[in-house]
Amino acid sequence: MAKGGFPGGMGGMNMNNLMKQAQKMQQQMADTQKELETKTYTASAGGGMVTAVVNGKKQLSEVRIDPEAVDPDDVEMLQDMVVAAVNQALSDCEKDQQSAYGRVTGGLGGFGF
């Protein structure tokens, strides 16, 4: 085994460099998470009749319903629009987070992100 290396070779990378890179990535992940938690994601359904706002913690923070969307004879349609708007906002949030974390990890898998 080469001095400061790993069995089987790691291209000359030593443990100190590996630890420094891991610490740097960990800090970048923490910074990215803080940044993402401040964002909001807005989605609409029913041609804008229902709007949902989700924060970066994946929590529903606001629902706006156009009064014209309220039809006592068709509550099911309003419910469907609310679900669609919330799900779209959550999906947008998830995609943004995966993209941001992917930039930090360089596409590395298996880290639970």
- CB-based contacts of 17, cutoff 8 Å, min separation 6: none
Residue 29 in any domain: the answer is yes
* Residue 1: Cβ within 10 Å count: 8
Residue 52 in any domain: the answer is yes
CATH code (residue 78)? 3.30.1310.10
Residue 113 in any domain: the answer is no
Full pLDDT tens readout for the chain, 113 residues: 445 555 555 555 688 888 888 898 899 999 999 999 999 999 999 999 999 999 999 999 999 999 999 999 999 999 999 999 999 999 999 999 999 988 888 866 545 54
The structure tokens 């987070």 sit at 97
Residue 10 in any domain: the answer is no
Range of the domain at 92: 15-105
For residues 35 and 27, the answer to whether their CB atoms sit within 8 Å is: no
Residue 72 in any domain: the answer is yes
User: Domain total for the chain?
Assistant: 1
Residue 33 in any domain: the answer is yes
Residue 91 in any domain: the answer is yes
